[in-house]
Amino acid sequence: MAEPIFVFKIALDSRKSIWRRIALRGSQTLDDLHEAIFQAFDRDDEHLYSFYFPKPGSRGRGRLRDAVEYTHPMNAGDSGPFDDEPLTGADAVQLSALRLRPGRKFLYLFDFGDEWLHEITVETVEGADDGGRYPRIMEKHGDSPPQYPEMEEE
């Protein structure tokens, strides 16, 4: 059986018109997905991040509280923000192990201070590895906002 290729659409939660389409192999990890998003959105300063898999039907910011969380490897092993069990590192979780299906949505929070929240949608899962390089940024829509927007002068 061919290794599946996952195609994700990653949109800024606050500006859904700014998004990227990225493909990864099933053997790659959430940390690999983070690196691809970091590059695709033209980031230049690393920060902690987490991926959140909320329960179906959960809404608002509270959806993060009850979600399964995978975090930056340096943050792994610490308890979550809600005094939960120790967090699993994103580098320890292969995409294929997550049992992702087309249409599934989950969240990616980059920089716990500035809180760049992204909505990720699984678009396709197929066995069409063409032998090329992955992760692969397939499409970009909208200009990336600066990682640190300039504060307006008073």
The predicted structure's pLDDT at residue 82: 59
DSSP state of 86: B
Let me know if residue 149 belongs to a domain: no
Q: How many whole angstroms separate alpha carbon 120 and alpha carbon 100?
A: 11
pLDDT digits (tens, 9 = 90+) for 67-99: 899 999 988 877 666 556 778 999 999 999 999
The kind and range of the H/E element at 38 are helix 30-40
Q: What percent of the chain clears pLDDT 90, i.e. is strictly above it?
A: 62
In a domain, 152, yes or no: no
Q: Is 51 left (phi over 0), alpha (psi -120 to 50) or beta?
A: beta
User: Does any domain span residue 150?
Assistant: no
Q: What is the pTM of this model?
A: 0.89
- Mean pLDDT computed over 44-63: 86
- 88-89/105-110 β-pairing: unpaired
- The answer to whether residue 43 sits within a structural domain is yes
State yes or no: pLDDT of 1 exceeds 70. no
pLDDT at 83: 58
Q: Phi and psi of 8, rounded to 5°?
A: -115, 145
pLDDT over 90 at 147, yes or no: no
91 domain residue, yes or no: yes
CATH classification at residue 129: 3.10.290.30
**pLDDT for the residue 48:** 93
Q: How many domains does the chain have?
A: 1
Helix (H) or strand (E) holding 24: strand 19-25
Residue 148 lies in a domain: no
Measured CA to CA, the distance from residue 148 to residue 70 in angstroms comes to: 24
Banded model confidence at residue 3, pLDDT cuts 50, 70, 90: confident
List CB contacts of 58: < 8 A, sequence separation 6 or more: 66, 67
Residue 20 placed within a domain: yes
Pick the closest to residue 108 from 96, 93, 121 (CA basis). 121
Residue 151 lies in a domain: no
| Domain ranges, residue 43 | 5-141
For residue range 6-32, list pLDDT tens digits in order.
999 999 998 999 999 999 999 999 999
